[in-house]
Amino acid sequence: MNEYIAGLVSVVMPTYKRSEMLSRAIDSVLAQTYTNIELLLVNDNEPGDEFTKDLQLRVAVYSTDSRFKLILQEKHVNGAVARNVGIRQAKGEYIAFLDDDDWWEPNKLEEQIKELSRLDDSWGGVSCKYSFVDRKGQIIGKSADYKDGKIYIDILNLVTDVTTCSLLLRHIALDKTGYFDEALLRHQDFQLLVNFTSVYKLKLVKEYLLNIDVSDTQNRPDGIKLLEHKARFFNSIASVFSRLPHNDQKCIRCMHNLEVGYVFLKNKDFNNGIKYILTIFTSPKALVLSCKKIIKKLMEMMHR
């Protein structure tokens, strides 16, 4: 078994083509009230390109902080590879993730370490609640509570608000369940969470400790691309998915079809949009879940 440094939190942060937003993320890590950390910033740009050069200039100010480490990859592949590079170099007992355009509240790690230290080893990690923030810095939405435990079915059904940047995981637990599937260009977050929470329980710290910037929409796929991504995702988590009862599998497929249909409708492809959304009526369980999801969204909009 790997021996990691007790109490150390290794924060893995990949960055790709948006170094202008990076300082906010880095500062939020280095300013944590829990100070036993290392920050592994993984350059996911091509070596020597304009983005790498700009990145190196921007992060030079952190070079005197022993907790900060810049990792330069030999080539750009994808975000899953970049995160795995960081995980493999991490020395900490705990692993946390942060995207380069998001940021933490100062007490994020302190509150999570406090909670995780009270739990036995069947709990592989903890999460937290988070706020959605627009380009102007205004909060435009907040995540909801979700149930604790082995929540992989809720994750597969797209009805839980857990997200990768909210996590604090035991490193040895992550080693056991596996890292990000490097063949996935999308849904690798879901893939890791499904595999992890099918083995370990996850606890929610019911405080808003993460801020997610939703102003960047450049990586939103169309319906056809999303279908391809989902096919690869289901192939990646087949060992977990195949063990589920047929009715649960049907429900999960329908919930993902609902998401695909919504994307088609947003892109004004009404035939495909309606086609995929109507599959929800083939699963009574999916129909109930989707109605609850819609009502929840409407309630959130009313309270903004």
Non-local CB neighbours of 98 within 8 Å, separated by 6+ positions:
11, 12, 13, 25, 28, 29, 104, 165
Q: Do residue 197 and residue 107 come from a single domain? A: yes
Tell me the residue range of the domain where 252 lies: 245-302
Q: Do residue 275 and residue 188 come from a single domain? A: no
Q: Do residue 103 and residue 44 come from a single domain? A: yes
Q: Do 122 and 203 form a contact (C-beta atoms < 8 A)?
A: no
CA distance 153 to 261: 21
- pLDDT class of 222 with cuts at 50, 70, 90: confident
Better-predicted residue by pLDDT, 298 or 229: 229
In tens, the pLDDT along 184-213 reads 989 999 999 999 999 999 999 999 999 999
Instruction: Tell me the CB-side half-sphere exposure of residue 52, using CA atoms within 13 A.
Output: 15
- Predicted model pTM: 0.92
Q: Do residue 187 and residue 258 come from a single domain? A: no
In tens, the pLDDT along 242-294 reads 999 999 999 999 999 999 999 999 999 999 999 999 999 999 999 999 988 77
pLDDT at 208: 97
What Å distances lie between residue 265 and 223, 259, 260, 279, 281, CA to CA? 9, 10, 9, 15, 18
Q: Is residue 224 part of a domain?
A: no
Q: Is residue 96 part of a domain?
A: yes
Q: Do residue 12 and residue 116 come from a single domain? A: yes
Number of domains in the chain: 2
- Both tokens of 45, joined, read 């740009």
20-31 in b/e form (b: 16+ CB < 10 A) is ebbeebbebbee
CA distance 114 to 133: 27
Q: Is residue 238 part of a domain?
A: no
- pLDDT class of 301 with cuts at 50, 70, 90: low
Share of the chain above pLDDT 90, in %: 77
Q: Do residue 103 and residue 59 come from a single domain? A: yes
CA distance 83 to 41: 9
Q: Do residue 262 and residue 197 come from a single domain? A: no
Q: Do residue 127 and residue 180 come from a single domain? A: yes
Residue with structure tokens 């604790």?
A: 148
pLDDT at 297: 65
Q: Do residue 148 and residue 23 come from a single domain? A: yes
User: 3-state class of 252 per DSSP?
Assistant: helix
